[in-house]
Structure 1
């Protein structure tokens, strides 16, 4: 889905439009609920580029009362 014109992603996505890469665009406001919660789901992508997104968007899920999986272990040593 192309981003709305008011985002900073328009030029970046246009530059990659004819590349051999499949691009999935997720605006920061959607990442709170739509960014992968598990390592397995995260591994569906070869690369992830984060830009202009605060740590709390990923760490504080809107359903905090339901204790979703902690995303911080992705950075923990294996």
Structure 2
């Protein structure tokens, strides 16, 4: 499964799960869950980067940068 599709799928599943559990989550709680998902994905990508070293695919490095920026942006809101 393509990385972007994987992330979108995980986000979709998290949203479905939260809708099933509780329909009245605040926007803050939703944002916190999204940040947690992004942090988990970022952590996995950083582990992969550490394992592959200089052979890390540039798309992984780009996704790390993107997720890092998105997390910082969401946390500053």
Query: In which range does the TM-score fall when normalised by the shorter chain?
Result: under 0.3
TM-score (norm 1): 0.26
Structure with larger RCO (C-alpha < 8 A, sep 6+) = 2
TM-score (norm 2): 0.26
Larger proportion of helix: 2
